[in-house]
Amino acid sequence: MTAAREHPIGYEVLRNPQLNKGTAFTEEERRKYRLEGLLPPAVTTIELQVARRRAEIAALDNDLQKYLVLSDLQSRNETLFYAVVMSDLATYMPLVYTPTVGEACQKFAHIFRQARGLYLPISARGRLRELLQNWPEREVRFIVVTDGERILGLGDLGSGGMGIPIGKLALYTACAGVPPQYCLPVVLDVGTNNQALLDDPLYQGLRRHRVRGDEYMAFVDEFVVAVQQLYPNCCIQWEDFASLNAFPILERYRDKICTFNDDIQGTAGVALAGIYAALRLTAQPLTEQRFLFLGAGSAATGIAELISRAMARQGLDIAAARRRNALFDINGLVVTSRTDLADFQKPFAQYRAPISTFVEAVRALRPTGIIGVSTVPKLFTREVIAAMAEINHRPIIFPYSNPTSRSECTAEEAYRWSDGRAIFASGSPFPPVEIAGRRFVPGQGNNVYIFPAMGMAVFATEAQRITDDLFILAAAAVADQVTDADLASGLIYPPQGRILETSLRVTERIATGIFELGLARVPRPADVGALIRSRAYRPRYREI
């Protein structure tokens, strides 16, 4: 057999998204791989291909359609997909991931075109290793996995949650350069309690209610063991699990394998980054802040814990630091006398009488910042924001619930009701706001400032563990990328257009931390930045 025959030829090349260059194949490549006649004769550059796709997407007026065009492109020509997305991250990130991905997950079965990633159903218990071996790549270094129970603020979307690991991994690559061939999106399908999905003839997941308890955990254990056996250097990132599983899973594995939960730790990192930047505006120390969270789930307790640890690193006793982070949930202020508290909420319980409305809690606790992670829109009312503005010269107002429709308030409301004094950041993006001739640019406390950089640092250093200290380091590194000009316009996160540059700097700081903490599995190089840059993916066509 000749060498040319061993190599894929013709449509095998054009239909392989890793090999396909579409019209950018040179004449020589077209001859060599027997593509002549299979492509229109004009050879185009990748720049021209990017321009063509960008024009096509710009002409569509519906974000879900844009998502689908990008998703089809990813299945056809991976390099071109990343070249398009990375050509303008501020424009394409909201299409590939939040907020558009929320709608894509809701309609997942209805817009389904082609499978991507691995679906591991609980009906295959005992055979997960076998299913994982069906994945064509031999080396997997990064898995994002969900069980679909709490997708963004949208609830249980069953196997439709697959849109999240797919979108998220695309950002690991686009925003920090984790090479896509090492990334694997996974859904653990343990059923769904969403009746509308169970009744939908197009639903693609297991048609059963969710498995709970020991049977669920044994399934997760089997998954972790199989991953460890097949891919010992693989990091597992847990995504959009309901709190009742998210915390026990993280606790179970965080000291045993390289793992993190982005809803808990990534969110915490990005919120802390926003706080560090906000404190540059108020010139106050972290240890004097008091935060009140609307919501007491994964995001709230994750952020509260990381802020507490960051406060403790600056000298506060950890218990006293936790008391500075109060939670308020569907049943009111989290106080010690409540009998409905989960273990992960108890450290933040206040020694106070119960308070049943959020505005009363604001008046009683006098927080310097409020952080909304309740999944319920509009709860930062005019009364709440006015109360915050009465207590603080520069109140910190972070409505973080996603997607936009769930945000606790809009940017305009926060600025207007605080007479333009709010330090604002939200979970989903809001356009700039003009009030009394002043222009405010709202920041988006998007986890994307943290998780791709964490992923890239872990990938490049082959880290054994991911500790909270690394998230504190990452938060400080993100805040350091905010310029004084950004702060002057109200922006407390680096502009998303600069995300790749920001991420590579943050990656370098995290990677340095990994080396210093002795967690790396590769030798420390003289120049950590050079190591990161040499390992980072670039969307360029290669010789095939």
Collapsed DSSP state (helix, strand, coil) of residue 114: coil
How near is the Cβ of 210 to ligand NAD at its closest, in Å?
Answer: 15
Choice between 45 and 405, CB closer to ligand NAD: 405
Backbone angles phi, psi at 454, to 5 degrees: -60, -45
Torsion on CA atoms 387, 321, 517, 483, rounded to nearest 10? 20
Choice between 77 and 401, CB closer to ligand NAD: 401
Collapsed DSSP state (helix, strand, coil) of residue 304: helix
The three-point CA angle 536-469-527 to 5° equals 35
Is 21 known to be catalytic? no
Choice between 222 and 329, CB closer to ligand NAD: 329
> By C-alpha distance, which of 230, 239, 249, 261 is closest to 167?
239
Q: Are 185 and 169 within 8 A, CB to CB?
A: yes
Torsion on CA atoms 456, 460, 462, 465, rounded to nearest 10? -40
Is 346 known to be catalytic? no
DSSP-derived secondary structure letter, 292: E
For residue 17, give every residue at least 6 positions away whose Cβ sits within 8 Å of its Cβ, in sequence order, or none: 74, 75, 76, 77, 78, 81
How near is the Cβ of 447 to ligand NAD at its closest, in Å?
Answer: 5
> By C-alpha distance, which of 398, 471, 426 is closest to 98?
426
Choice between 49 and 267, CB closer to ligand NAD: 267
Between helix 451-461 and helix 468-480 the angle, nearest 10°, is 120
Listing DSSP states for 299-327 in one string gives HHHHHHHHHHHHHHHTT--HHHHHHTEEE
Choice between 8 and 332, CB closer to ligand NAD: 332
The residue from 66, 67, 168, 449 that is catalytic is 168
What the block records as the tokens of 35 is 């593509």
38-42 own/partner pairs: CB under 8 Å, 24+ apart: 38/10, 38/11, 38/14, 39/14
How near is the Cβ of 440 to ligand NAD at its closest, in Å?
Answer: 19
Choice between 77 and 407, CB closer to ligand NAD: 407
Choice between 61 and 340, CB closer to ligand NAD: 340
What the block records as the tokens of 34 is 């027997």
How near is the Cβ of 64 to ligand NAD at its closest, in Å?
Answer: 19
How far is residue 356's CA from residue 359's CA, in Å, rounded to a whole number? Answer: 9
How near is the Cβ of 477 to ligand NAD at its closest, in Å?
Answer: 17
DSSP-derived secondary structure letter, 263: I
* Contact footprint for ligand NAD (CB under 6 A): 150, 152-153, 243, 263, 267, 270, 294-300, 329-330, 373-376, 379, 400-402, 406, 427, 445-447
Q: Are 25 and 43 within 8 A, CB to CB?
A: yes
What the block records as the tokens of 184 is 């694997």
Choice between 342 and 488, CB closer to ligand NAD: 342
> By C-alpha distance, which of 377, 243, 241 is closest to 297?
243
How near is the Cβ of 406 to ligand NAD at its closest, in Å?
Answer: 5
The residue of the chain with the least Cβ separation from ligand NAD equals 297
Q: Are 330 and 345 within 8 A, CB to CB?
A: no
How far is residue 70's CA from residue 68's CA, in Å, rounded to a whole number? Answer: 5
The residue from 67, 82, 92, 97 that is catalytic is 97
Active site residues: 97, 168
